[in-house]
Amino acid sequence: MLDQIIKGAFARIGVDVALQQLPSERGLVMADSGQVDGDGNRISGLQAAYPNLLQVPESNMTYEFSAFALRPDVNVRNWDDLRHYTVAYIIGWKIYDENVRASSTVKVATPENLFALLRAGRVDVVLYYRLGGLYYARKLGLTNLRVLAPPLATREMYMYLNSRHADLVPRLAAALRGMKKDGSYERIVAPFQSR
């Protein structure tokens, strides 16, 4: 879904884009240093820690940062509830680094690893965004995966570009707004929201 949104926004401004999947923290560091041109989906305000990044001021999507469990006895309604469980999340997800105080924490590089830990019973809870978690539940056949409600946080997500591409920032923001206005954004997102 995000790939389609990003490609659509760049296509609207007539700029070719090649997407590369990198570990979360590495992607930020590489974008800040200029080794790659930007980073795709982050919370607002990261330019304070990564001064060479410019936030595109129109959001890509809204993430519901959620807890997922397989066991029926696991109950998480807020950040504090995590202290009772062994929790896993992806390395470099700043919102989790800042808020998780669990009895034990495991950090992994990929979503596949995250949900494999849960399936193997090595962790009680995994943290990811709601739509992504539902996607991996389908992909990995986790029919009894529970999305624990409410979400731990809901945040708008943004693209960041290395400062050498400052001229593209307002153009991409306008492209994203246009996609939302003309319905093309919703056509991309709708199939992913089922379930």
- pTM for this prediction: 0.81
pLDDT in tens, 101-157: 988 999 998 999 999 999 999 999 999 999 889 989 888 999 999 999 999 999 999
Angle at 176 between CA 48 and CA 38, to 5 degrees: 40
Same domain, 57 and 77: no
pLDDT in tens, 39-78: 988 889 988 999 999 999 999 999 999 999 999 999 999 9
pLDDT in tens, 23-32: 888 889 999 9
Give the per-residue pLDDT at 195: 46
Same domain, 167 and 105: no
Same domain, 53 and 66: no
Helix, strand or coil, per DSSP, at residue 73: coil
Q: What residues pair up with 28 in beta bridges, in sequence order? A: none
132: enclosing H helix or E strand: helix 130-140
Same domain, 187 and 147: no
Same domain, 33 and 72: no
Q: Model confidence at 15, in pLDDT bands (50, 70, 90)?
A: very high
Q: Model confidence at 194, in pLDDT bands (50, 70, 90)?
A: low
The residues, any chain, with a CB within 8 Å of residue 97's CB and separated by 6 or more, are none
**Angstrom distances, CA of residue 136 to CA of 63, 114, 143, 166:** 15, 10, 10, 35
pLDDT in tens, 159-186: 999 999 999 999 999 999 999 999 999 9
Same domain, 105 and 57: no
Both structure tokens of 181: 């206005």
192 pLDDT above the threshold of 80? no
Question: Is 64 within 8 Å of 130 (Cβ atoms)?
Answer: yes
Both structure tokens of 118: 């849960």
CATH number at residue 54: 3.40.190.10
Domain range for 109 is 62-153
Same domain, 71 and 142: yes
- The total number of residues written for the chain in this structure: 195
Same domain, 86 and 33: no
Domain count, the chain: 2
* Residue found under tokens 């924490």: 105
